Structure 1
Amino acid sequence: MIYQDLFYPAGVAVFGSVKPGKLAAVIINRLKEGNMPNVYAVNPKAQGMENVPGCDSVLKLKGQVQLAVIAAPAAIVKDILEECGQAGIKAAAIITSGFSEAGNVQGEQELLEIASRYGMRFVGPNCAGVVNTHSNLLATLETRPPKGNIAIISQSGAVGGILMSMAKAQKIGISKFVSFGNGLDLNMMEFLEWMKTDDETKVVAIYMEAVKNGRAFMKVLSELTEIKPVVIVKAGHSSAGQRAALSHTGSMAGVDAVFDAALGQCGAVRAESLEDLFDICRGFSALPEIKGERVLIVTNSGGPGVMTTDKSEEVRLSLPEPSQNMKETLGKFLPSFASIKNPVDLTVEGTGEQYRDALANALEEYDAAVALYIGTPYLKSAPIAEGIIQAGKSTGKPIAVSLSVGTDMNESLDRLEQEGIPAFISGERAVKVFAKMAQYYKCKKLGKTFEASSMPTVGTVLPNNLLEPDVKELLQKNNISVPPYSFVHTAEEAAQSGEELGWPVVIKVVSPQIIHKSDVGGVLLGIDSPNKAREAFKTLEKIAEGRDFRGAIMYHMLDLGREVIIGLTNDASFGPVVVFGLGGIYTEVLKDVVFKVAPVDEKTALTMIKSIKSYKLLEGIRGGKSIDMQFLAKTISELSYFPFKYTNIREMDLNPVFAYEDGVIAVDARIVTDNEA
């Protein structure tokens, strides 16, 4: 019911001064611009505006108003809300600023108390209002957008205003707009929940800056993307200011990287900019489903075709040449000088009929097409547009267009938009849209990789300052392979353990005060006799002099496998995160790692392995054999459940992990618990 009153009110009361230039006056003008009937101005002097009646108390309008829009001074907002409650109004948009964003937290709590008492819900305070183009509601300070099927939810009023202006300038149809400001009551989560049932919205666009409860956000987002696409642009790509982590895993994890992973696991699409956001939304809004990643380019100019091809490869679309049979088919109606590859280059002499026939025929072998037309200032582009429209109707497949130059360009672009074929500024931007659309539909088909059901919160609490032998024992208990090892406390024990493990051995210092052993010379390799084992132990004792030396851990030297790192860290918004990447320089220098919000199953872990840039090194190159992918995926999955079994894990590293053709071994491991410095 609340959303009915908020977005489909029969009457709207606007609170505040109606003097020229005042916020309430601007909002009333917007409401009348949108042809909203039954608008009332409420202020102490009962001043109205033109044909909008004034009233000194909303109680006199009882039963006539469903939505209150408040643009009065912050000091009297609570009194207005109280009166709205008495009048039976259940929905409000509080435009007024001067609350928590200005340090007035108490003022916000008063608003919540009043609203709760009357069963009222509100947007804001400090918001840019709400819009519903399908009910003529323009309760905002922002520009009036065209009617359409894209809903916009913005955490920022200013960015919301930019988006509304862009929508009007680019003729992009909007269904709903809401800027929720401080989000004191109705917020992002609740609007996403409602969007699942809004039949007037086909795609949801979001601008956001932060996530408070990441896992709850993921749950709602996952449910929404099952129904319709969600495209998100987020401010803040940098991880600057993050805590300097003790472990490799913590230092690799940036806020933005985790957010990006979370969106992918929920099936949402990430946009790079506001322009990118609108491009992608227009694709989802107008085009049919893209069922694969095979894209055809038809052009009349080589340069733009090549640039579009380059961008296609960059965004991982496939551009195979037409089959031999298709080349023969195309050759029957295309001129001999046309290039029948991919791009199909019709040259400057390409006609509307040739665009139509090339697209209609070749799309039998492709999932989508980009049609590029770079005309001349003295020729019409309309015939090209008509040819593309006819091809779209005959194939039912997505076709995106980039038209440039022509005597009737605006008319041609309008005609394409009317027929549901979006035109983009360039072919490069068009293929970026196809890549994002393919990503969404592929994810929807394969299923989400985030399990929305809550994980158990009751688990074992680990002691602080776990030593490597303790961690190795814990790994074995949880089905993660480690090498056979000995924890020794004297030089003689080291000599005896070497005999039992088999020479040569590795011997490493064990001390809670030495985190990175190799940095202090605390890892000694190739120890191949009892005497050398004794000497090695004494060397480690000397290295740890003045520190809490607990002994040494020893294991037989392993054959070098492909070195990887698996880790856990905790994100402030999303909680436990699992990290995977190649070890060595690939971790330290190239940062070739991938993140997922934990836990993950083996199927998702396998996608993590395959998504790193250096995956080919694991798969095997130049005759090399592939590592045991399934065993590695199982290890990643097993580790991802650790924070739910052991609830005080802050960070954890398995580094290095050796991956072989027939197994995986965690060579070194460490855990940082919550209470450790």
Structure 2
Amino acid sequence: MKTHSLMDKIFHPKSIAFVGVTTSNPFHWTRTFWESAREFQFAGPMYPVNPRGGELDGYKVYRSVDEIPGNIDYAICTVSAKIAPKIVRECAAKGAKAVHFCTAGFAETGDADVTELQQELVSTAREAGIRIIGPNCMGIYCPESRLSYDSGFSKESGSVGFISQSGGNSIYMIREANWRGVKFSKVVSFGNACDLNESDFLEYLAEDPQTKIIALYLEGVRDGKRFRNLLERASHKKPVVLVKGGCGEAGARATSTHTGSLAGNDVVWDTLCRQFNVIKPQNMEEMVDVLATLQCMPDFKGRNALLVGPGGGASVMLTDEFEKRGFSLPAVTDKIRDELLGFSQAAGNMLRNPIDYSQSMQDPGSMHKAIQLLTAWEKVDFCVGFFRPSQMTDGFLDMVRKADHLVHNAFDASFKPVTYIVECGITPTRQAIAFEMAQRIMSAGKPVYYSFAAAAEALRLVADYNRHKISKQ
């Protein structure tokens, strides 16, 4: 079976066996995959397998894979390492295309006997014509096929494909990105990669029509030459965003014990990403910011910013973050200054860039007119609005909440890229207000960031990516 066809079947199984799921403890970790499939309303047959038998949520529990009637497409296994080869043989006999082993305790331990067991697992799978995801991973999340590995993930399909060597980082990414408005086409947490690895999944997502952006969290690669060639090919087709873990000496040691992977020199990774115009954030938080930017503003490449905020020291720091990343803040011209003063004395606070809205929000109509005037200015490429609830009195904050739609409408009318920074707040009440504002903005399809540096860095990375892409065309 060709790799692409096989991957399609792995991400879209018609039936699943849950091997090792507990029937006695509803809070046991082996129930995670079962409960997620139930929550997502997986449409195909589901077969819980446990030597004790019995019943689980109205489903018959089979004592072994052999007892399952008919064939299965896919198996999620939470069994001990020592019986893994046996499970592979049983699944192969039932026609399974792939087996996902969530279980840890394989080659990442460094133990010679367990490493030999993992090698036996791979050879058994190859003899049986079956592929393995893992071990030591969370497996597949594909909203389209109703396949998930944790509760609360979005059921809505998106355009981002994510390949993660870490299960925990993949869960963080899905939850945080979903909240920020980013939805996924497919996600795979592949762990030790004893069989299917990062290159296999990269090759697939590069050709996948549902995936418009590829994101990767890697600690190392199995075949450097193959990965390099596939990364080059993928980066010519769609944006690729890569976070590399295990950069330092201690990080490399942690990598070997986490997934048993060879980390590699970080300088090599930096060079590789520059060569192929791959976006390389420094951490997972930056990756979420970049994905939100790419999804909302895929062609962003502006240099000249209009910043709108509450003034004072916040505006100074906001300016610093953007200027040190190469952005320009054009000074307001005399002509525009005269026009601003012509319709509101409150506009006196808006004669600079960044614009101070601390007084003008008391006159929302003037604020709306001012933003319309400034965003129409040809020297401005994009706009950044900044809300800081901790700096506002209760009365002023209420005024901002009521008037912020005027600001959004004025920005939208400019047809220029618009982003927002929303301070999360330092008290529970202010935090709730901040998240409410952020949710409204994200619902309108605008990217939201939680700090000055986060906004400036994400915009820089995406702008650099798009400028380099144009220069190579």
Corresponding residue number in structure 1 for 2:393? 376
State how far apart, in whole Å, the 2-side matches of 1:197 and 1:117 are: 28
Stretch of structure 1 that moved more, 106-115 or 303-312: 106-115
What letter is aligned with 1:82?
A: R
Larger helix fraction of residues:
2
CA distance change for structure 1 residues 163 and 291 in 2, over 3 Å: closer, same or farther? closer
Q: Pick from 7, 16, 19: which aligns with 1:15? A: 19
Q: Pick from 254, 274, 299: which aligns with 1:289? A: 299
* 1:158-217 deviation digits (Å, cap 9, x = unpaired): 333443454466665344322111111111112112222334434333222224444433
* 1:268-320 deviation digits (Å, cap 9, x = unpaired): 11212222221222111223421332222122323222111100122222222
* 1:501-522 deviation digits (Å, cap 9, x = unpaired): xxxxxxxxxxxxxxxxxxxxxx
Matches within 5 A, 1:124-203: 124-138=134-148, 140=149, 142-146=150-154, 147=156, 148-167=158-177, 172-203=182-213
What letter is aligned with 1:160?
A: S
CA distance change for structure 1 residues 210 and 288 in 2, over 3 Å: closer, same or farther? closer
Corresponding residue number in structure 2 for 1:235? 245
Corresponding residue number in structure 2 for 1:264? 274
Corresponding residue number in structure 1 for 2:256? none
What letter is aligned with 1:441?
A: N
**Cα distance, 1:332 vs structure 2:** 4.6
Matched residue of 2:387: which SS? strand
Corresponding residue number in structure 1 for 2:260? none
**Cα distance, 1:85 vs structure 2:** 1.2
CA distance change for structure 1 residues 240 and 301 in 2, over 3 Å: closer, same or farther? same
State how far apart, in whole Å, the 2-side matches of 1:8 and 1:126 are: 21
State how far apart, in whole Å, the 2-side matches of 1:355 and 1:186 are: 56
**Cα distance, 1:370 vs structure 2:** 0.7
Corresponding residue number in structure 1 for 2:47? 40
Does structure 1 conserve the Cα–Cα contact (< 8 Å) formed by 2:383 and 2:419?
yes
State how far apart, in whole Å, the 2-side matches of 1:263 and 1:210 are: 14
Matches within 5 A, 1:266-281: 266-281=276-291
State how far apart, in whole Å, the 1-side matches of 2:402 and 2:146 are: 37
What letter is aligned with 1:362?
A: L
What letter is aligned with 1:35?
A: Q
Q: Pick from 314, 319, 333: which aligns with 1:304? A: 314
State how far apart, in whole Å, the 2-side matches of 1:268 and 1:356 are: 39
Matches within 5 A, 1:275-354: 275-333=285-343, 335-350=346-361, 352-354=364-366
Larger strand fraction of residues:
1
* 1:474-500 deviation digits (Å, cap 9, x = unpaired): xxxxxxxxxxxxxxxxxxxxxxxxxxx
State how far apart, in whole Å, the 1-side matches of 2:42 and 2:143 are: 10
What letter is aligned with 1:341?
A: R
Q: Pick from 104, 107, 114: which aligns with 1:97? A: 104
- Give the TM-score normalised by the residue count of structure 2: 0.82
| Cα RMSD (Å) | 2.9
Matched residue of 1:114: which SS? helix
CA distance change for structure 1 residues 327 and 212 in 2, over 3 Å: closer, same or farther? farther
Corresponding residue number in structure 2 for 1:403? 422
Consecutive unaligned residues of structure 2, counting only runs of 5 or more, are 253-263
Matched residue of 2:79: which SS? coil
Q: How many equivalent residue pairs?
A: 435
Corresponding residue number in structure 2 for 1:85? 92
Does structure 2 conserve the Cα–Cα contact (< 8 Å) formed by 1:128 and 1:180?
yes
Does structure 2 conserve the Cα–Cα contact (< 8 Å) formed by 1:382 and 1:411?
no
**Cα distance, 1:420 vs structure 2:** 0.7
**Cα distance, 1:16 vs structure 2:** 0.6
Does structure 1 conserve the Cα–Cα contact (< 8 Å) formed by 2:243 and 2:280?
yes
Matches within 5 A, 1:21-32: 21-32=27-38
Does structure 1 conserve the Cα–Cα contact (< 8 Å) formed by 2:101 and 2:135?
yes
Does structure 2 conserve the Cα–Cα contact (< 8 Å) formed by 1:145 and 1:174?
no
State how far apart, in whole Å, the 2-side matches of 1:323 and 1:65 are: 69
**Cα distance, 1:423 vs structure 2:** 2.0
Q: Pick from 1, 5, 9: which aligns with 1:5? A: 9
Structure showing greater Rg: 1
Does structure 2 conserve the Cα–Cα contact (< 8 Å) formed by 1:66 and 1:89?
yes
What letter is aligned with 1:425?
A: Y
State how far apart, in whole Å, the 1-side matches of 2:330 and 2:227 are: 39
Does structure 2 conserve the Cα–Cα contact (< 8 Å) formed by 1:175 and 1:200?
yes
Matched residue of 2:30: which SS? helix
Corresponding residue number in structure 2 for 1:444? 469
State how far apart, in whole Å, the 2-side matches of 1:430 and 1:131 are: 28
* 1:331-382 deviation digits (Å, cap 9, x = unpaired): 5555342232321223333355555444444344322211113343231444
**Cα distance, 1:401 vs structure 2:** 0.8
Corresponding residue number in structure 2 for 1:50? 57
What letter is aligned with 1:205?
A: A
- Give the TM-score normalised by the residue count of structure 1: 0.59
What letter is aligned with 2:89?
A: E
Aligned: 1:362 with 2:374: yes
Aligned: 1:413 with 2:430: no
CA distance change for structure 1 residues 357 and 220 in 2, over 3 Å: closer, same or farther? farther
State how far apart, in whole Å, the 1-side matches of 2:280 and 2:343 are: 41
CA distance change for structure 1 residues 414 and 158 in 2, over 3 Å: closer, same or farther? closer
Identity %: 28
Does structure 2 conserve the Cα–Cα contact (< 8 Å) formed by 1:232 and 1:271?
yes
Consecutive unaligned residues of structure 1, counting only runs of 5 or more, are 243-253, 449-677
State how far apart, in whole Å, the 1-side matches of 2:73 and 2:352 are: 61
State how far apart, in whole Å, the 1-side matches of 2:204 and 2:339 are: 50
Aligned: 1:422 with 2:447: yes
Q: Pick from 114, 117, 121: which aligns with 2:131? A: 121
**Cα distance, 1:52 vs structure 2:** 3.2
Matched residue of 1:41: which SS? strand
CA distance change for structure 1 residues 123 and 171 in 2, over 3 Å: closer, same or farther? same
What letter is aligned with 1:91?
A: A
State how far apart, in whole Å, the 2-side matches of 1:240 and 1:33 are: 39
State how far apart, in whole Å, the 2-side matches of 1:328 and 1:288 are: 36
Q: Pick from 232, 241, 245: which aligns with 1:222? A: 232
